[in-house]
Chains A and B, each alone.
Chain A
């Protein structure tokens, strides 16, 4: 019995020392928080696992509209993507921008297929549905401390679904197709009354 008591006491002491040490480290300011210095492997794993598990849990109940693959959604979503997303997530024919170079973590290149840009998401599990739910959730809610804003407060769910619809076709678009699909200028030209 004294052995068990000694073990618990040692465990408590170790926990207290660990917590005090972590607190001192945090308050010391020694951790490099600049975006130009990558996380160490432990921090990266902790943050990425936290992010992926949180998104997977929160996005699992999202209902995907049955009419996602329509030309109207592509046109509406394409124009919004070009205005709101292309600076960080690129457009066909571009491999990098100031944002992709400067942001950490670097925003995924959404003109590439999931396999090509090496960014983990639902499609890695083989489920296209999970990937779509994940994209909708991320666009709507954003991701803390990543540079990804939440578009939900200022954009309707339908408008976000339009962007998700566009993302499904983006990796297959040529630069010319992308330009035509995302140009807003045609709206007024084509409505002569």
Chain B
């Protein structure tokens, strides 16, 4: 009797561990992932942008590709952006990378 009960309990425990390990993996969100609206950066007041601000650095990382394709729209930030581009992807982003 005890053995009969043990199997379903073990199966449920194993499923619990499996589901919790899969829960909220960032990859799950990639299906509905939005792209950053980098065009909005063009309308921002560049004179008020502080390139040492982590928020600004994060936006640069997100929009690096757009900025390289743009012709002078981001002239104020190109040097900084290139510098940031060297270390563009965070560790977490690299871990999601599919080669």
- The verdict on B34 contacting chain A, using a C-beta distance below 8 Å, is yes
A157 to chain B: closest CB distance in Å?
A: 14
In the complex, chain B residues 24-43 whose Cβ is within 8 Å of any chain A Cβ = 24, 26, 29-30, 33-38, 40-41, 43
Let me know if B44 and A176 touch, CB within 8 A.
Answer: yes
Let me know if B29 and A191 touch, CB within 8 A.
Answer: no
Let me know if A74 and B55 touch, CB within 8 A.
Answer: yes
A154-B23 contact given A180-B40, A185-B35, A186-B65, CB 8 Å threshold? yes
A-chain residues with CB within 8 Å of residue B92 when the two chains form the complex: 72, 76
For the complex of A and B, 6 pairs with smallest distance between CB atoms? A185-B35, A71-B58, A71-B57, A176-B40, A184-B33, A183-B36
Alpha-carbon distance A83/B30, docked complex (angstroms): 11
Main secondary structure of the interface of A (DSSP, over half): helix
Residues of B within 8 A of A (CB): 20, 23-24, 26, 29-30, 33-38, 40-41, 43-44, 54-55, 57-65, 84, 88-93, 96-99
Let me know if B58 and A181 touch, CB within 8 A.
Answer: yes
Per-position binary interface string of chain A over residues 62-95, scored 1 when its CB falls under 8 Å from any chain B CB and 0 otherwise: 0000000111111110111001100000000000
A-chain residues with CB within 8 Å of residue B60 when the two chains form the complex: 71
A180-B65 contact given A72-B90, A187-B96, CB 8 Å threshold? no
**Contact with A75, one of B20, B58, B65 (Cβ below 8 angstroms):** B58
